[in-house]
A and B are shown apart, each in its own frame.
Chain A
Amino acid sequence: MTARRFRRGRVVGNTVAVVFCLVWLFPVYWMVNTAFKPRSEAMTATPRFWPGAPTLHNFDVALNGTEFWTNLTNSLLVVGVTVVISIVLGMFAAAALSRFRFGGRRTVMVAILVAQMLPGTALLVPTFLVFNEAGLLGTYTGLVLAYLALTLPFSIWVMRGFFLTVPVEVEEAARIDGASTWQVLWRILFPLVLPGVIASSVFAFIAAWNDYLIAYTFMKEQSQYTLPVWLASFTNPAQGTDYSAQMAGSVVFSLPVVVFFLLIQRKLVSGMSAGAVKG
């Protein structure tokens, strides 16, 4: 390639990249832009591309309106418990699947992958029926159980990947020093896969945090909603949808996920190969 062709390629590439960025960023920008606009500036015949009088009023409306703090607490509680359980159980299972060779291992792996790929409505219908019988509908325990179905297979799969990166020699050295199987797991393996534990926690957090369908179907009281359900139902019936406040709510809800994505972006690409985030 000649230098000139190369330079022309760069110009074309940069132009396409700029156009792409503008298009792809626009919805995000429009959300943030609207969130900071007073209602009078949001609902105008000619859209305003910059808030003329930026305000935090919309955040005030969203956050101090119906049940935000209650629903945030619900989300944090349910998601937190889900993450802890799927990480602890997932870590044991991942250790088994990566460091041991036993009959049926392959079957278990395939089962985990299939579980990960099951359509949401397939689990939703029977879980609803069973929870109805067991009195778990509208309870946080029910929600945690339903989220474990979502996060556990994936946590196992991802952490297994991390376990595979720990060289066998490390274990062998510990064994020669007389460590037992448990000691090898606790003292050597688990600390070494800590980065994997953190990444898997974040995946599980995102999957459970983002769920709308299950919480929407299982929780009937407004005080029991999680944040996605709160957000989707957040309109002002008297004046029609208050888009400014809704966008402010969207910003608040999306923020933790965006921060996490930026932090673990590389791992996400590979993690998604196992079907990370459903829906």
Chain B
Amino acid sequence: MPGTDQAVGGRREAPAAPPPPSRARASAPPRTGSVRGRGSLVAWALLTPAGLVMLAVTVAPIAFLVYASFTDYDQRSLFTGAFDVVGARQYTDLLADAEFWRSLARTVVFTAAMVAGSVAIGAGVAQLLTRLGPAMRMTVTVVLILAWAMPTVASSLVWKWLFQPGYGVVNWMLTRTGLFGDMTDTDWSNSAPLAYVSIWLLIVWQAVPFIALTLYAALIQMPAELQEAARLDGAGEWRVWWSVTLPFLRPTLTLITLMSVIWDFNVFNQIWLVSAGGPDSATTTLGVFAYRTAFVAFKVGQGAALSVVTTVLLLAVTALYIRRLLRSGEDL
């Protein structure tokens, strides 16, 4: 993929490997080493330790998750170990639960809003980076990295402080603009739309750096002649972007969008720490709903069914993502 071609580090020391041909996946033995001849025995021996750990910590739990979703595992079961297999009841209950559908709808809408916001702003910043002098570009990059590096727990707490009623600096600034009246004591986590806005801002703030830097990395690999030729043909700046830059960026953009969908669909920490899913359940997305069901209400079986549904929904996006990755020349 163009954006990540100076990729996974280190490529600088190998004599600049040519970018992998995009259809290399069909028959792709070129990069494998001479040890290949020793065949699969050594390979599987090397894979085994990691494979065993992954079986234990990923595959087995997922299998157990599916099993648990067909049981009535609850708080009592945690102590007694006793639970019954209840068949598909957890699923039929779930599908009959209006709160499930509301959470699903919230998650979809919220994910769409976050992805749209972060990709649009990220693309804008990437474009901006190409137009700056070296000093300014460095400054923007460092600012991006600082925002990106903040651990979600820390940034969620900072957010609560920024939006704190009474002494929060955001309320103070908004009050000063005079646009919304006196907002000094507005409690953002206590109003559904405001809670959404503040969480949206937090997610977008954290997501933009990666998107901007990745798209910028793709942009600087674009041959300048492409744009020059379009300009010579009399195309305006907007037209050049639409007809030349955008098509060039499309593979990277698609990949980034798919990743953002997966990440944003799963956002948990920020919502949990900023609004705890409230007020009422206004910001309860599927992840928060599953967590509350399994670990607050301790309806573990129901929570498991919810997690299965969430995972199945995400697998579709993940499949698209992996297909894209394959197509963009990752030699799997």
Please judge, given known A-B contacts A10-B133, A17-B128, A118-B62, whether A25 and B146 are in contact too, CB under 8 Å. yes
A28 CB → nearest B CB, Å: 5
Residues of B within 8 A of A187 (CB): none
| 5 smallest beta-carbon distances between A and B, as pairs | A161-B8, A102-B40, A261-B149, A100-B43, A96-B46
In the complex the two chains form, is B140's CB within 8 Å of A99's CB?
no
Please judge, given known A-B contacts A90-B50, A123-B62, A126-B61, whether A195 and B9 are in contact too, CB under 8 Å. yes
Please judge, given known A-B contacts A10-B133, A272-B214, whether A165 and B172 are in contact too, CB under 8 Å. no
Additional pairs, 9, CB under 8 Å, beyond known A123-B58, A231-B154: A27-B205, A30-B169, A101-B29, A175-B34, A250-B158, A269-B210, A270-B8, A270-B9, A273-B4
Across the interface, A99 reaches (CB within 8 A) one of B35, B44, B303, namely B35
A109 CB → nearest B CB, Å: 4
Residues of A within 8 A of B145 (CB): 258, 261-262, 265
Q: Would you call A78 an interface residue if the criterion is a C-beta within 8 Å of the partner chain's C-beta atoms?
A: no
In the complex the two chains form, is A152's CB within 8 Å of B53's CB?
yes
In the complex the two chains form, is A258's CB within 8 Å of B150's CB?
yes
A246 CB → nearest B CB, Å: 6
In the complex the two chains form, is A127's CB within 8 Å of B331's CB?
no
Q: Interface residues, chain A, CB within 8 Å of chain B? A: 1, 9-10, 13-14, 16-17, 20-21, 24-25, 27-28, 30-31, 34, 42-47, 85, 88-90, 92-93, 95-103, 105-106, 108-115, 117-130, 132-133, 145-146, 148-149, 152-153, 156, 158, 161-162, 164-168, 171-172, 175, 181, 184-185, 193, 195-196, 199, 209-210, 212-213, 217, 228, 231-232, 241, 243, 246-247, 250, 253-254, 257-258, 260-262, 264-273, 275, 278-279
Residues of B within 8 A of A92 (CB): 46-47, 49-50
Residues of A within 8 A of B53 (CB): 85, 89, 148, 152
Across the interface, B268 reaches (CB within 8 A) one of A93, A108, A213, A243, namely A213
Q: Would you call B81 an interface residue if the criterion is a C-beta within 8 Å of the partner chain's C-beta atoms?
A: yes
A192 CB → nearest B CB, Å: 8
In the complex the two chains form, is B31's CB within 8 Å of A1's CB?
no
Please judge, given known A-B contacts A24-B147, A89-B49, A267-B9, whether A127 and B273 are in contact too, CB under 8 Å. no
In the complex the two chains form, is A243's CB within 8 Å of B58's CB?
no
A245 CB → nearest B CB, Å: 11
Please judge, given known A-B contacts A20-B140, A279-B266, whether A129 and B68 are in contact too, CB under 8 Å. yes
Docked complex Cα distance between A111 and B40 (Å)? 18
Q: Would you call B226 an interface residue if the criterion is a C-beta within 8 Å of the partner chain's C-beta atoms?
A: no
Stretch in B109-117, B188-196, B307-315 with 4+ CB within 8 Å of A? B307-315
A258 — nearest CB in chain B belongs to which residue?
B149
Residues of B within 8 A of A120 (CB): 266, 268, 287
Q: Would you call B64 an interface residue if the criterion is a C-beta within 8 Å of the partner chain's C-beta atoms?
A: yes
The winner among A47, A100, A162, A181 for most chain B CB atoms within 10 A is A100
A277 CB → nearest B CB, Å: 9
Across the interface, A168 reaches (CB within 8 A) one of B31, B150, B184, namely B31
Residues of A within 8 A of B295 (CB): 128, 217
Please judge, given known A-B contacts A10-B131, A171-B34, whether A257 and B290 are in contact too, CB under 8 Å. no
In the complex the two chains form, is B128's CB within 8 Å of A13's CB?
yes
Across the interface, A129 reaches (CB within 8 A) one of B1, B42, B73, namely B73
Docked complex Cα distance between A17 and B47 (Å)? 47
Please judge, given known A-B contacts A195-B9, A231-B153, whether A113 and B148 are in contact too, CB under 8 Å. no
Stretch in B13-21, B92-100, B241-249 with 4+ CB within 8 Å of A? B13-21
In the complex the two chains form, is B307's CB within 8 Å of A122's CB?
yes
In the complex the two chains form, is A14's CB within 8 Å of B332's CB?
no
17 contacts between A and B (CB under 8 A): A21-B139, A27-B147, A47-B167, A89-B50, A96-B46, A99-B35, A102-B43, A121-B268, A162-B9, A165-B10, A181-B42, A195-B9, A199-B8, A228-B151, A247-B158, A257-B149, A262-B145
